[in-house]
Amino acid sequence: MNKYAVIVAGGTGSRMQSDVPKQFMLLNGLPVLMHSIQQFYACKAQIVVALAADLQLTWQQLCKQYSFEIPHQVVAGGQWRAQSVHFGLQHWAACTGIVAVHDAARPLASKALIALLYNEAEVYGNAIPFLPLTESIRQTDGNTNRAVNRNNYVAVQTPQCFDLQQLLSAYNEVVSYDFTDEASLFENKATIHLVPGQSNNIKITKPGDIAWAQQFLQQQNI
């Protein structure tokens, strides 16, 4: 199986209350993005990072500063997350295999989870990690809201894995990038195959997330 990965690294530090983009914040001695790249490289994936043009020089400097030599290609990100993914997929336009789309701000996705998702996607055409909801939830509509059964819903994570050519075909047909993950796009082509995710596979979003991830890495030694 040929394995590819598009790692989307277009986030900013706005919700982190930091001038440093969250993918560049230090975690266990390395920028967050480097942790994500390491996990996919360990799974023998070829890697593309979609990064805003104005952040690419900073990334080059960080790679030099931390002697980070894992092979990867950098492509310019787009105005929207989905557009950045599309640009990354186009780098592999002539290739076949399974592609993972991953948020750089999820540096704790384990090698075991990534390998499982690649293998499941090879069998089913796609594989999406999920977690059951534990909180009570309500559906809102304008000024009204109502309780809904949380057992009918799950939370999805990345990486999300797909047949590369099928996902690229789906992207080439879009007229708007107003969807938040690839499963939302791909469900028009195939049934989505859900795979149990990991509770530690958090997305770095708030200031406390870095501290939590740091503690987790020190405890797990991964």
pLDDT score at 18: 64
**Whats the size of the chain, residue-wise?**
222
* pTM summary value: 0.93
Rounded CA-CA distance 209/58 in Å is: 23
Beta partners for 139?
A: 146
Helical H segments across 15-80, by residue range: 32-42, 56-65
Rounded CA-CA distance 128/210 in Å is: 24
Rounded CA-CA distance 55/76 in Å is: 9
pLDDT score at 11: 58
Closest Cα to residue 75, out of 157, 30, 9? 9
Rounded CA-CA distance 180/160 in Å is: 12
Token pair 């994936």 is found at 45
Closest Cα to residue 9, out of 221, 158, 141? 158
Residue 70 and residue 30 in contact, taking contact as beta carbons nearer than 8 Å:
no
Closest Cα to residue 114, out of 44, 184, 179, 172? 44
3-state secondary structure string across 93-111: CCCCCEEEEEECCCCCCCH
pLDDT score at 19: 78
- What CATH number is given for 3-220 in this structure? 3.90.550.10
Q: Rounded to whole angstroms, what are the CA distances from 52 to 9, 75, 88, 109? A: 8, 8, 12, 23
Per-position pLDDT tens, the chain of length 222? 999 999 999 755 445 456 788 999 999 999 999 999 999 999 999 999 999 999 999 999 999 999 999 999 999 999 999 999 999 999 999 999 999 999 999 999 999 999 999 999 999 999 999 999 999 999 999 899 999 999 999 999 999 999 999 999 999 999 899 999 999 999 989 999 999 999 999 999 988 999 999 999 888 765
Rounded CA-CA distance 179/201 in Å is: 21
pLDDT score at 12: 52
pLDDT score at 218: 87
CA angle 10, 6, 163 (to 5 degrees): 140
